[in-house]
Amino acid sequence: MNHKRKTQLFHFLDLLPRRFGFALYHTLQRLADKKSLPQKIQPAEATFRNAQTILQQHGINLESSSIIEIGSGWLPSIPYFFLSEAKVAEVHTYDFNQHYNTNAITALNAVFKERFPKSFPPIQPNNYGLAQGVTYHPKTNLIHSALPNSALVFSRFVLEHVTPEDLREMHQKFKKELPAGTHILHFISPSDHRAHSDRSLSLQDFLQYSEAEWNKIQTKFDYHNRLRLPQYLSLFKGCALEVLSVSHDNPDPESKRYQQFKAVTVHDDFKDFTEEELTAGSIVVLLKT
């Protein structure tokens, strides 16, 4: 969808009472989602494979342990991979919203039962029909919750949608309340998400706006904090977390994406960042408490 039309739609939803706005948002999301179930699972599996590689490189074995997922999303694909392949005992998954749907999870269960007949857990009779070992915490602010002891905190494309203040408070909580040596693995997409569905936009298009201007464009349905890589790292280190590894990509100088970036007049708010820092994408950070 053209980014201007999408923005207009989100602003309309934002005018509605919260309950009705989110109900309509969910309906529209489901109607617009034309992907098959395998197409929905594939990106989550790619992230899980990447996570596996990083964890193995650092000698981290999660078998029989408990983990926390930040941001449950629409399907428990990531928890299911951790249960079926990493052999974790429990996944506590937290979300501000409540996106899970019993019919969708029933279909997902069938796929994972077929792929992992020996290791996929039994299904719970209630709780959306989720596999045993998954505890779903919808409409929950992790910052105000009692955390289970966990070997890993994991997020996939969530942190960019959290305010800097909440990010700081969340990681201070991890440092204070989780056992020393707990690992935290974040996959972060710091690009302008409007450009994912409208390729006429630069992935850094939103960097042309001041904070006030950007807040007039975005809504609670598409909030993005616009933090750059050094800001994330500074926040993590400021919470006394050890940074074990960092990776990211940048556009090829010969690519269209790079030419689109060069056409953006970056706002003074971002003038102290290098070109590499401004365009850093697909950030993966491994931390330790």
Does residue 23 sit in the same domain as residue 161? Answer: no
Query: Per the structure block, which two tokens stand in for 8?
Result: 């207009």
Query: Considering Cα of 33, then 34, then 36, then 41, what sign does the dihedral take?
Result: negative
Task: Let me know whether 96 and 143 are in one domain.
Answer: yes
Same domain for 52 and 149: yes
pLDDT at 27: 82
Q: What's the total number of domains in the chain? A: 2
Q: What is the mean pLDDT of each run of 10 residues along the chain (289 residues)?
A: 84 88 82 84 97 98 98 97 98 94 95 97 92 97 95 98 98 97 98 93 98 95 96 98 98 97 98 97 98
On whether both 28 and 145 belong to a single domain, the answer is: no
The secondary structure element, H or E, covering residue 282 is strand 281-288
Q: What is the pTM of this model?
A: 0.94
pLDDT in tens, 85-137: 999 999 999 999 899 999 999 999 999 999 999 999 999 988 899 999 999 99
Residue-number span of the structural domain to which 110 is assigned: 36-288
> Looking at the structure, do residues 30 and 104 belong to the same domain, yes or no?
no
Three-state secondary structure call for residue 279: helix
Q: Are residues 214 and 240 in the same domain?
A: yes
How far is 183 from 42, CA to CA, in rounded Å? 25
8 and 54 belong to one structural domain: no
Provide the edge-to-edge strand list for the sheet that holds 66-70: 134-137, 90-94, 66-70, 152-156, 183-188, 281-288, 242-249
The domain spanning residue 234 has which CATH number? 3.40.50.150
**pLDDT value of position 1:** 64
The answer to whether residues 117 and 230 belong to one domain is yes
